[in-house]
A = this chain, B = another copy of it.
Amino acid sequence: MPAGTWVTFGPGVTEAEAENVVVLAYESGVNLFDVSEAHCGPRAEVELGRILQRRGWKRSSYVVCTKIFWNTKSDERGLSRKHIIESVKASLARLQLSYIDVVIIHKADPMCPMEEVVRAMHHVVCQGWAMYWGTARWTPGEVMEAYSNCRQFNCTTPVCEQAEYHLFCRDKAELYMPELYNKIGVGLMAWSPLTMGLISGKFDEAGFPLISRSSFKSKRSSYSWTEDETTNATSKETYAWIKERLEPEELRRQQERQREISLVAERLGCTVPQLAVAWCLKNESVQCLLLGATSPAQLYESIQSLQLVPKLNATTMTDLERILDNKPTRPPIVSTLALR
């Protein structure tokens, strides 16, 4: 089980509500706060900064993660040394902190030389602006490329990859992240958007929780994100998009899975979101899990999941595996040798 859990600083919440969630988290032992401009605009950093200032907690008792976002459209497009440095400085100013614990680069930029990226992140660490750096939504190959550039140029290596992980999105976390962790020490910071949707009861008439399009597409295939998925992945349009494209048969099966999972939760005496969180925590490859919450009640419900983990015994896990029917497997390696 991972050493800690996380709270995503959510959008659409007043500062007073946000403070309540942050305080409950901190007092419950959740000590990592993840904010990121793209999800909630610069407001999240500004508000978390103010809350931390007001509370005056010891700096070493909490961990702050934020992201470097970049786009391909605006004037300042692309990832670059300049953009990395400007972003980090702006985040530090908004957060009113002397350093960020983990600065995460959201998506790799194939147009920017990896050497430039790793030298810039090393600079950010050497300046004392960040303690560590990590990645989000990078393919395992991109993470490996960053790592080998760090070794070549004697730069600080990344410590984590932030990736989506939940009942319906398993490939990357289960197939590739354990290898990255064992080989180069890059841990998995799992991001579980499913729970947000399930907790907030925002169900679609077809029974769809608020998950992103990619969850479906990536089933049993190698994980890849396309440009348009990075925004509004949980919006109404996404589900409309999914329903239009999924076969009626697949839609029916998804609703059936949803129903069966509810029965398992009922049997365990918990809610579906709690089951979903506990199921994520059960995976030893999850070095930490980001939980989204917009109210203390939501967060409290998620934290309760910790007690559920030991109850997920072999039988229950096998049951869930059968219901989900999406256990990721690597495609067989067809040896050209064997074909001769």
Contacts and interface: CB of A to CB of B under 8 A. Distances in A.
Contacts of A126: 123, 126
A153 interface: yes
Contacts of A59: 86
Given A75-B31, A156-B119, A185-B113, A60 B83 contact: yes
Q: For the complex formed by this chain, how many copies does it contain in all?
A: 4
A55 to B, nearest CB: 15
Interface residues of A, number: 29
Q: Considering residues A59, A63, A82, A86, which has the most beta carbons from chain B within 10 angstroms of its beta carbon?
A: A82
Interface string A170-183: 00000000000000
A45 interface: no
Interface string A97-125: 00001000000000001010001000100
A81 interface: yes
A69 to B, nearest CB: 13
Interface string A30-42: 0100000000000
Interface of A: 29, 31, 59-61, 63, 75-76, 80-83, 85-86, 101, 113, 115, 119, 123, 126-128, 131-132, 153-154, 156-157, 185
